[in-house]
Amino acid sequence: MDNKILIINGPNLEMLGKRKESVYGNFTLKDLENELLKESETLGCTLDFFQSNIEGEIINKINGLDESYAGIIINPGGLTHTSVSLHDSLEIKTIFKIEVHLSNIYSREDFRRKSLIAPACDCSIIGMGKDGFIYALRYLIKNI
C-alpha cells in the first residue's frame, strides 16, 4: 500500500474565502489544497482531492476507492449532521479515516452539534481552521 491519501471536502466548501470568513477563515479551497500539497512533500505521501456538493458523488468516490489508498481525510460539511449513508460508506472502509471541521461544530447552532460521521472515523479534528487539515495529514501518516 502506498502512502496515498484522499482529501474529501463536502457541500459548500468550494465557497471558502467567500462565506462567513469569521467562521471559516479567509482562505480558498485551492489555498488549503496547496498547503496540504506542500506538507505532503515533507511527509512523503501523495494526495488526491475531491470536492462535491452532491452526497451521492461523495459516497460513490469513497465506495470506489481501490487498495492503493492508505487513508481518507474528510470534511463532510453539512452532511456531518444528516448523512447516515455517508456514515455507512465510511464505516465499510478499513483504511484510516479522519473527520476534520474548520469550525468548532460544538460551539455553533444546536443542529450542528451532532456528527453522524465521527463514529465511522478513527478520530476527529475540530475547530482548528485550516491547521486542522495539516494536523490530520501528519497524524494519519504517523498512524498508517
Look up 139 and say whether it is catalytic: no
Q: Per the structure, how many domains does the chain have?
A: 1
pLDDT tens by residue, the chain, 144 residues: 479 999 999 999 998 888 766 656 678 999 999 999 999 999 999 999 999 999 999 999 999 999 999 999 999 999 999 999 999 999 999 999 999 999 888 777 776 678 999 999 999 999 999 999 999 999 999 999
| Confidence (pTM) | 0.93
**Which of the residues 24, 69, 87, 106 is marked catalytic?**
24
**The domain that contains 84 carries what CATH number?**
3.40.50.9100
* Per-residue burial over 16-46, b = 16 or more CB atoms within 10 Å of its CB, e = otherwise: beeeeeeebbebeeeebbebbeebbeebebb
**Which of the residues 101, 106, 135, 139 is marked catalytic?**
101
The domain of 73 spans 4-143
pLDDT at 21: 65
Look up 24 and say whether it is catalytic: yes
